[in-house]
Every structure is written in structure tokens, then in C-alpha cells.
Amino acid sequence: MLDMQFIRDNPDLVRQATTNKNLDPDLVNQLLSVDQKRRTLQTQVDQIRQQINLNAQRIKEVVHGGQKPSDSDIENGKKLKAELQQIEPDLKIVEEEYQRLLLNIPNVPAAEVPVGKDEAGNQVVRQEGDIPKFDFQPLDHLTLMENLNMVDVKQGVKVAGFRGYYLKNDGFLLHRAILQYALDLLIAEGFSPMMVPNLVNTQAMTGTGYLPWGEEDHYKTQDNSILTGTSEVGLTAYYADQLLTEKDLPIKMTGISTCYRREVGSYGKDTKGIIRVHQFDKVEQVVYTIADEKETASWHETILGFSERLLTDLKLPYQVLLMCTGDMGAGQRKKYDIETWFPAQQKYRETHSASYFNDFQARRLNIRYQAKDGSIKYVYTLNNTMAASPRLLAAIVENYQQPDGSIKVPEILQKYLGKEIIEKKA
């Protein structure tokens, strides 16, 4: 969340940011009004408590001197306590509304983020890699994988429902190879690997900014626990309510987890294949930096570069997009997407997202550090997809298909599968 003093000092900026993120700017007005009520009531409560303490101290001194406190002092004490009991419930109600509104105020986008209502406002930063040219009609990944007994969607739907699937044989092994290579790459870059909880509480989801926005996108249990759509939640929340030191930073973590998304609003989209599914696996990278936007912006480019290196190693063509205000999350300050080329669709499709937040998540999670000068500050947080499969698996299958329907295994993944080509067994 944003610092309340920042909102008070920059109401127009925050209102405009809220509008640009397709949210209601009146939330800012409501918050400022409630904040004023809260501060007024808090001042009244503090003054009454001060008077109660002074009155109690006066009675204590009188009693200590062997005298009986006056009726007026006793009556005044009762009156003050009655006033406090009357006003404290009002303060509690206002405080709860203040917290609710504050959690609904989005982050302010960085200056270079383009303003736009939807994906049409995103900007292509660069395109990398050579789009493959086939001397045959390329098939889609589902057809290829079904022919090679790598996937079973029919049984997946029968057992798990819409968008269910089974990865089988070389499909499963190639999927695991992608994730393992991504994990190995990050470990070599000094990231601490972690297996994180897939089932988290609402505090973790709210702290990372997935709530209160998009609540309908997540699966919940009967105990109100939530299945996460990314290990970003578990990784970012790992140091919640902790005080770090500047020498601890940057902290680099990577998690591999199964992810769950309801895909609300995607009815009719990508119903064929395994690009848009309810369950998938992902390697994520999360970084904490010092409270300096230049530093965190530099890390933003660095973690984006790790994902680009993965795609370059896989020899997959891709493009990098700078996301506009209307196509980024409420908590994100700046976001890149990477889209990988899918030959059967003749288009780039999203496979990665890289974002930084400044202290937006850290304030919600209360993750602080002691700076070298002794001051206490909130860390700045970043995250980025390193590899999400089976979407990346589908991209490899389509880009590496051969005229006979076999699939070449990317050179960097051959050591994991022990073969150079996936072909139909006799």
C-alpha cells in the first residue's frame, strides 16, 4: 500500500493513477475524508486519555497524602471514562474503514509507463530471435503432443473438468526439464531455492496485492485458505513482520510450485490445447532491494534478463512488452511481459511477467530493514516468471516440430531427457 502521508501530499497524482488503472478515483476522496475523521477522533481519544491520566494522578497524590479525593475528581473521572467508552467504538469503525480503503488504493505507475485502458496500449520494447520458417504447414501443439502420446486432454477433462489435462511420457519429462533448467540457471545466479506453501492465508494474499482485487480469480477452501496462482506469494511474504539489515540485501529467492487460477472471464478463450489451464507449474524469482528506485529498477532489468536468457538458450523467438497502466496489476509500479512465438497461431503469446513495486508490498507485509545510517525503511520488492509450463512446453513443441511430426529436443534440455528427438514409438 501507499504511505498515507504520500497520498495526503499528492491526492491528484494518486487519483490519476487510480483512474489510469481502471479503478474508481473516488476511492481516494473517500480515503482522505475517512482519514480526516480518523485523525480527529484519534486526537479526541488521546486528549480524553490524557485527562483521565491526569485526573487519576491527582487522585493518587491526594490518597498518598492521606486525604480523601474530592467528589468532583471522582465524578470527573467517571465522566471522562464514559466519554471514552462512547467515542472509542466510533474510532474503531472509522479505523476499519480507513484500513479497507487504504488497501484498495493502487500503486502509482512509474513515469515511463504508458497510459492505456487495455492491452492495446502496451508497447513493444524489442523482438529477439528468428521466427522459424517451415516448408510444411506447422501443426498446433495439441495435435503434435497427442500424436506423440505426450498429453491426454480427454481423460484430463473427464477426471478434472474443463481445462483439465494429463502430461504423459516425454510430455511430462520435457515439462520437468524446462522447470529444472530454469531453476538451475537461477541457483547459479545466487538465488536461494525454496519450496513454498501453495495454500496460504488471506494476509499473505492481501500483503502481496492479490487481494482485495481479483478475489474471484482464486480457489478457496472451506477454511478460507487460498490456493496461490504463483509462488510469488509465498516467497514475498516469507519475511513478513521481520526487520532485516541493509547488509542482508539484496535477497534473491526462487520458488518452484504448482499454481492454480480460475481463469474467470476467459470463457471461450484458448479452449483447445494447454495454453490456458487451471493448474500449471512455475519457477518464480523474487528479489528484495534497498529502498532506492534506481536500484530496484536496475534489478527489474536484471531479472527480466534472466528470463530472456532462458528463452535465448531455448532458441525461442520472443518479444518484450512494456505494459500500460490499464493492463498491469493494481500494486505494480512497472511491468514487462515477455511473449513467445507460437507458429501454429502465427502470433506471440505471453509466457513471462516481470514487475517491481517499490515498498507497496513491503508496507502491507511489514517487511523492513535497518539502513546503514540506523534508520528503519521498507524493502522494495520485485518478481518475475522464470518459466511457466505447460505454456512454455507448448511453445517448444510448436517451434521444434519436424515435417514427420516428431519434436526436436532443445539442445540445452537433451541432458535431462537423454534424447535428441521425441518421435512416435513403433
Check if 284 is active-site.
no
At 266 the pLDDT is 63
Average pLDDT over residues 372-392: 97
pLDDT (mean) for 53-65: 85
Instruction: Grade residue 73 by pLDDT with cuts at 50, 70 and 90.
Output: confident
Question: Which stretches does DSSP call E strand in 105-218?
Answer: 123-128, 151-152, 166-167, 192-194, 199-200
Report, as an integer, the average pLDDT of 411-423: 97
Q: What is the CATH number for 367?
A: 3.30.930.10
Boundary-marking domain end, from 103, 134, 153: 103
Catalytic pick among 189, 295, 350, 423: 350
Sheet holding 376-378, edge to edge: 243-245, 368-370, 376-378
Count CB-CB contacts under 10 A for residue 50.
Answer: 11
Choosing from 58, 276, 309, 349, the catalytic residue is 276
Residue at grid coordinates 496461490: 228
The three-class DSSP label of residue 92 is helix
The stretch 113-130 carries a mean pLDDT of: 97
Looking at 37, 72, 103, the residue that finishes a domain is 103
d(CA 308, CA 319): 9
139 pLDDT higher than 80:
yes
Structural domain contains residue 57: yes
Question: Same domain, yes or no, for 99 and 156?
Answer: no
240 and 334: one domain? yes
Which residues touch 235 (CB under 8 Å, ≥6 apart)?
194, 196, 253, 254, 255, 284, 286, 383
CATH code of residue 9? 1.10.287.40
Contacts of 160 (CB under 8 A, 6+ apart): 278, 279
Q: Are residues 79 and 126 in the same domain?
A: no
Same domain membership, residue 311 and residue 252:
yes
pLDDT grade for 426, boundaries at 50, 70 and 90:
low
> CA-to-CA distance for 15 and 211, rounded, in angstroms?
20
The span from the CA of 189 to the CA of 343, in Å, is 32
Specify whether the backbone of 163 is left (phi greater than 0), alpha (psi in -120 to 50) or beta: left
Q: Which of 38, 163, 363, 391 is catalytic?
A: 391
Do 96 and 124 share a structural domain? no
Q: In the predicted model, is pLDDT for residue 265 greater than 70?
A: no
pLDDT recorded at residue 268 = 65
Number of domains in the chain: 2
Residue 114 domain-assigned (yes or no): no
DSSP per-residue codes, 15-62: HHHHHHTTS-THHHHHHHHHHHHHHHHHHHHHHHHHHHHHHHHHHHHH
- 353 is a catalytic site residue: yes
**Sign of the four-CA dihedral 229, 231, 232, 238:** positive
Among 257, 353, 355, 389, the active-site one is 353
For the chain, first and last CA: distance in Å?
59
Based on the residue annotation, tell me whether 309 is a catalytic residue of this protein: no
Domain membership of residue 112 (yes or no) is no
Is 411 assigned a catalytic role? Answer: no
Residues 292 and 165 in one domain: yes
Specify if 417 maps to a domain: yes
The boundaries of the domain holding residue 301 are: 119-422
Residue 350 annotated in active site: yes
Choosing from 15, 261, 333, 363, the catalytic residue is 261
Q: Are residues 271 and 416 in the same domain?
A: yes
Q: Are residues 46 and 163 in the same domain?
A: no
Phi, psi of 143 (to 5 degrees): -60, -45
| Residues pairing with 124 in the sheet | 321
In this structure, the number of other CB atoms found within 10 A of the CB of residue 100 comes to 14
Side-chain-facing half-sphere of 44: CA atoms under 13 Å:
17
Mean pLDDT, residues 146-154: 96
Helices and strands counted in the chain (H then E): 13, 18
Q: Are residues 293 and 251 in the same domain?
A: yes
